[in-house]
A = this chain, B = another copy of it.
Amino acid sequence: MEQRVSFITLAVRDLEATRRFYVGGLGWTPDVDVPGEVLMFRAGEHLVLSLWVESGFEAEVGPVRRGEGIVPVALAHNVASTDEVDAVLATARAAGAEVTGPQQRDWGGYTGYFADPDGFRWEVAFNPGPIGQVVLP
Interface residues in chain A, defined as those with a beta carbon under 8 Å from any beta carbon in chain B: 1-11, 26-29, 31-32, 40-49, 54, 57, 61-78, 88, 91-92, 113, 118, 120-121, 123, 125, 131, 134-137
This protein's copies in its complex: 2
Say which residue of B6, B54, B61, B75 sits within 8 Å of A121 (CB atoms).
Answer: B61
Nearest-CB distance from A126 to chain B (Å)? 11
CA of A136 to CA of B76 in the docked complex: distance in angstroms? 22
The 5 closest A-B pairs by CB, nearest first: A65-B69, A11-B72, A7-B76, A6-B78, A6-B135
Residues on B with C-beta less than 8 A from A125 are 6-7
- Decide yes or no: A92 and B48 within 8 Å by CB, A67-B67, A76-B7 being known contacts: no
Collect the chain B residues with CB atoms within 8 Å of residue A29's CB: 3
Contact flag A77-B28 (CB < 8 Å), given A64-B71, A70-B61:
no
A1 to B22, CA, bound (A): 10
A and B contact pairs by CB, cutoff 8 A, 19 listed: A1-B26, A1-B91, A3-B28, A3-B42, A3-B49, A4-B44, A5-B8, A5-B76, A6-B135, A7-B74, A7-B75, A8-B74, A9-B75, A31-B131, A31-B134, A64-B70, A65-B66, A71-B72, A73-B73
Complex: A32 Cα to B31 Cα, angstroms: 33
**A72 contacts B77, C-beta separation under 8 Å:** no
